[in-house]
Amino acid sequence: MDLYSGYINKLIEQFSSLPGIGNKSAQRLAFHMVNMPKEQVEYFAKTIVEARNNVCYCEECYTLTDNKICPICANTKRDHSTIMVVENTRDLAAYEKTGKYKGIYHVLHGAISPMLGVGPSDIKLKELITRLQSDEVQEVIIATNSSLEGETTAMYISKLIKPTGIKVTRIASGVPVGGDLEYIDEVTLLRALEGRTEL
């Protein structure tokens, strides 16, 4: 039995199809939307449509942008000799928030996952190799997740790049700040040990 009218059910259904939105959150969003002023709802809907129509991949790093070249790639003050490879635009944003990385990026839009049928040709690897043909690039930092897929992708990229003579590095991963060692898995502890630095 439907508790709500057809339009509210459709709205709940649409919200619940979004990642991370369960049925209760979808209901809350649907009722909020219905109670918003009409002009605000129209502006919200227009913004969604405009974003979908105008956001595209940066022609250099493949992050999401509404210009041909994203602001990071267009910035001449960035170090264009260092490329950090990340899985998605959210990872890029996380590094940018630190304010410490001054190089440029390459966004793969995924990771190699044989279990899910995602191979090297399904992510932006060919485009990365094309970028590396420039004499300007001296180092590639692989910043994929420390999941099985992320590690597989990192190893694959490393094997592709090593023969070119370009320096390939992997971000360190280890014990999180405030983490108790007894609760940390063995792989993370080993990575923390191997990635140790002198004090």
The pLDDT of residue 199? 47
In this structure, is residue 133 part of a structural domain? yes
The yes-or-no verdict on residue 74 having pLDDT over 90 is yes
Same domain, 122 and 168: yes
Cα(109)–Cα(123) distance, rounded to whole angstroms?
Answer: 6
Percent of residues, the chain, with pLDDT higher than 90: 64
The dihedrals phi and psi of 145, each to the nearest 5 degrees, come to -65, 160
In this structure, is residue 95 part of a structural domain? yes
Same domain, 75 and 49: no
Same domain, 15 and 102: no
Confidence of residue 153 (pLDDT cuts 50, 70, 90): very high
Confidence of residue 99 (pLDDT cuts 50, 70, 90): confident
- Of 76-80, 125-129, 168-172, the range with the lowest mean pLDDT is 168-172
pTM of the entire structure? 0.80
The pLDDT of residue 197? 58
CATH number of the domain that 73 lies in?
Answer: 3.40.1360.10
Q: What is the mean pLDDT of the chain?
A: 88
Percent helix, strand and coil across the chain, each to the nearest 5: 50, 15, 40
The domain total for the chain is 2
Alpha carbon 55 to chain centroid distance? 15
